[in-house]
Structure 1
């Protein structure tokens, strides 16, 4: 595209929102540069299935270059965004600067520990492939270490799994770990019974899945308990260490594996731009999703805070995709000299969460589904929205195999197993890693 006089559109983040903007500009008289620190697009709603050994990373990720290979007006660059020079209209990356005429920031979100970032090494979250594979290693190694020890206290700690946060991610993780322990691993160990594993789901609020109707929250709570998960609602975590969590009131739970699913915070986009942000660090934008006073800069997805008059917009994939479609139409209209479309309007299709085998909750307008029907609907929706026929086929076949045999096909322990926990116990063999920056939404 060297020497082109077309407007330069730079998109930061190849998640759901950024990818949708790029696709929406196919055929437009513009030069698009898509920047991401990864070379793949990850289907985040199924990350927990990588973490619990149902799927392999390649099942839910696809190379961005391949996705956009038929789009002639786009260049993909693998780089880490470091800032924005608004005056010079440059995106700053670790690979140099990229000039833009229009800039779209779709850099997503990362984990929020609500002022306790020192908990991050002990209770990692789940936002990308690296998080998922690290968590899978920690879960599987915990069972291996329990098999090898004769110390009952250490064994109990190793076989205690604490998930903090009762939203969809926490519910799905709790149910999946329970199925791994009760069924997939049960026949494979001789010195320890994986079915004795203790799985706790801790939610500071009064009920699970607060965005769902109360009756679906109650169903979820009851179904998890029937699967052997201990559900603690109205209990806030006040401390988290290498081998424990402490709840409000002083109750201590010894556990080697903790998983954070309690909150997110936006990327540093607002700081890069020097603009107003909300309490979650998201950029405040106008009705067209452009930054006030900078009509050439758009912020979408988890790092965007649209004005209240647009109504509540959840931080989920469909919302990011709709934002991407809107921004692409706004840019295309401006480039063509046409009137821009009206303000962004979010259309909420529904809420879904799976609990475990034959159990899910679905809210579609007035329609509510639970149990087997909800579970089938949840699966069909997720297979449909995967990128690429190969991924859809692979995921569907893995799910069928898992349903028939209860076996997890991706139970490989890879990576460095020599690390020790910060307390020096080395029980899980997983080296804590700091929270990584987000790549897109």
Structure 2
């Protein structure tokens, strides 16, 4: 007869995903007598709000990322696994990993984020979004190669040159606005100083938005301020327009074809396939519909948080998919899980505390909505910069980003203009 499996000395909480939500949960749990297993398919935590800066050569990847093991090195009961999840056996309380292992849990926190959504179209290869470092480096390579090819194009190839110098950004939310502004700064300032045959009058940047205004999650006045700032940078803003096709030759907006070698997608996201693992109800974007305690209905020991979850706070409003909300959800899920493991009363329903919305347009303009205070311009940009530096993981990252931004602001120089990943075998 086989010997019984000894009970674990401490409860085990498995966290899937080391983004803002997952790391916030891990930090909260690390203060208590529980074992934590943190699973992610990447070995680093990424500050996604600044990925567009990597994509436009404003920052290097290491400036906005840090190894997960380094972040949790002072959490002795936290184990980090470089793996991905294939499924969850809720009855056995096991997580099945892609490596073939099965991991028991007493509580499970799923924070696997979101990916791009093309609304059923097959445009991913031609119009990449930026959700990972690899995405950002690929977009950076595309932009910089377009400038190089335009510089060397002969005058008789004017149509080809115009295609290289046309950049289309699809989506008028914060990511699209920030991306369009950053491309404008890169191509009309830094590039103009180093590419003798490219001037700001050669470059065409188009921001396409299906709604009738930019930044729908902001007040209309700030959306209008963002539009004016972008147009001041030379960006063509097309409101109430939809992209109906994207191919190797460019895009079709309504019935107009625009030849463009660079198309960046910022129009939509879809949650990870966690709803399928958990056999849980999901909304149209694939986000798991959770209860007020952030747990999956019917299983009080499984929590879904961050961009993976469709959350309505105590006031009845949807919780936005931004970093502060994810961190708050992580802490709340951890506290609720701990209380249930101990048989104690939990903290109750999740209440989201909004710290405002921020978006930047170029190197010295942003829009900020604190509810009680709305700003645009340079002061808003300084507040945006301070907020993003504050949320970066690690003092070194904050110091480097601050120094890089100061240098870029003074000189217009973007030192991360590196084209990598090209086979140059001769």
Task: Calculate the TM-score normalised by the size of structure 1.
Answer: 0.92
Query: Once the 2 structures are TM-superposed, how far is the Cα of residue 307 of structure 1 from its aligned partner?
Result: 4.5
Match of 1:56 among 56, 60, 63: 60
Partner of residue 90, structure 1: 94
> Aligned partners of 1:56 and 1:82: how far apart in 2?
32
SS in 1 for 2:53: helix
Match of 1:296 among 296, 301, 324: 301
1:238 and 2:234 aligned = no
Distance of aligned partners of 1:195 and 1:59 in 2 relative to their CA distance in 1, 3 Å threshold: farther
SS in 2 for 1:382: helix
SS in 1 for 2:369: strand
1:407 and 2:413 aligned = yes
> Aligned partners of 2:356 and 2:42: how far apart in 1?
30
Match of 1:270 among 264, 271, 275: 275
Match of 2:144 among 136, 140, 145: 140
SS in 1 for 2:361: strand
Structure 1: gaps (5+ residues): 420-441
Query: Once the 2 structures are TM-superposed, how far is the Cα of residue 336 of structure 1 from its aligned partner?
Result: 3.1
Partner of residue 104, structure 1: 109
1:75 and 2:79 aligned = yes
Contact 2:30 2:36 survives alignment (8 Å):
no
Contact 2:313 2:352 survives alignment (8 Å):
no
User: RMSD of the alignment, in Å?
Assistant: 1.5
Match of 1:182 among 177, 188, 203: 188
1:157 and 2:182 aligned = no
Q: Cα deviations across residues 315-355 of structure 1 (Å, max 9, x unaligned)? A: 11111111001011112222333211110011111000000
What is the correspondence of 1:34-433 to structure 2 with a 5 Å cutoff?
Answer: 34-95=38-99, 96-116=101-121, 118-150=122-154, 151-193=157-199, 195-248=201-254, 250-307=255-312, 310-417=316-423
SS in 2 for 1:41: strand
Q: Cα deviations across residues 370-396 of structure 1 (Å, max 9, x unaligned)? A: 111001000011111111000000000
> Aligned partners of 2:98 and 2:299: how far apart in 1?
24
Query: Once the 2 structures are TM-superposed, how far is the Cα of residue 148 of structure 1 from its aligned partner?
Result: 2.0
Q: Cα deviations across residues 140-179 of structure 1 (Å, max 9, x unaligned)? A: 0111111222211111001100000000000001010001
> Aligned partners of 1:406 and 1:241: how far apart in 2?
33
Query: Once the 2 structures are TM-superposed, how far is the Cα of residue 244 of structure 1 from its aligned partner?
Result: 1.2
Paired residues in the alignment total: 416
Contact 1:146 1:158 survives alignment (8 Å):
yes
Higher relative contact order (CA 8 A, sep 6+): 1
> Aligned partners of 1:359 and 1:178: how far apart in 2?
13
Contact 1:111 1:265 survives alignment (8 Å):
yes
> Aligned partners of 1:88 and 1:242: how far apart in 2?
49
Bigger shift: residues 162-171 or 20-29: 20-29
> Aligned partners of 2:10 and 2:400: how far apart in 1?
40
Contact 1:284 1:307 survives alignment (8 Å):
no
Q: Cα deviations across residues 90-116 of structure 1 (Å, max 9, x unaligned)? A: 112222221111111100000011111
> Aligned partners of 2:215 and 2:97: how far apart in 1?
38
Query: Once the 2 structures are TM-superposed, how far is the Cα of residue 311 of structure 1 from its aligned partner?
Result: 2.0
> Aligned partners of 1:113 and 1:166: how far apart in 2?
15
Contact 1:108 1:301 survives alignment (8 Å):
yes
Contact 1:34 1:74 survives alignment (8 Å):
yes
> Aligned partners of 2:17 and 2:424: how far apart in 1?
33
Query: Once the 2 structures are TM-superposed, how far is the Cα of residue 312 of structure 1 from its aligned partner?
Result: 1.7
Bigger shift: residues 309-318 or 221-230: 309-318
> Aligned partners of 1:417 and 1:176: how far apart in 2?
27
> Aligned partners of 2:165 and 2:85: how far apart in 1?
39
Query: Once the 2 structures are TM-superposed, how far is the Cα of residue 3 of structure 1 from its aligned partner?
Result: 7.4
Structure 2: gaps (5+ residues): 1-5
Contact 1:108 1:266 survives alignment (8 Å):
yes
Distance of aligned partners of 1:40 and 1:3 in 2 relative to their CA distance in 1, 3 Å threshold: farther
Query: Once the 2 structures are TM-superposed, how far is the Cα of residue 199 of structure 1 from its aligned partner?
Result: 0.4
> Aligned partners of 1:357 and 1:32: how far apart in 2?
41
Query: Once the 2 structures are TM-superposed, how far is the Cα of residue 55 of structure 1 from its aligned partner?
Result: 0.4
SS in 2 for 1:231: strand
Contact 2:283 2:289 survives alignment (8 Å):
yes
